[in-house]
Amino acid sequence: MRTSTAASSAVKSLLGAAPEEIRSKYGRVGTFEMMRSLARKRPKGAELVADSLLVLQALAKTWVAELEELVQDNAPALLKI
């Protein structure tokens, strides 16, 4: 759980310094929705935006993977929903 907490904190911190295009899209959604969306995102656009999205995506993928592992280990029936 430490890894997902660290990834979530890092994403939220990076969003504060990310280009406005990214902040406006992800800054007001919940953590779960934000992380799932970022994990699936295909970076595109200006170089700074694309680079920012790559970093955010990597952290979000870490968060999603740890969450899925936690659910699989403790409540596998939830993954079928």
Whether the per-residue pLDDT at 20 is higher than 80: the answer is yes
Report the 3 state secondary structure along 40-79: HCCCCCCHHHHHHHHHHHHHHHHHHHHHHHHHHHHCHHHH
pLDDT of residue 60: 92
Decide if pLDDT at 44 tops 80: no
User: Are the beta carbons of 34 and 59 closer than 8 angstroms?
Assistant: no
In this prediction, residues 53-65 reach a mean pLDDT of: 90
Asked if pLDDT for residue 1 goes beyond 70, the answer is: no
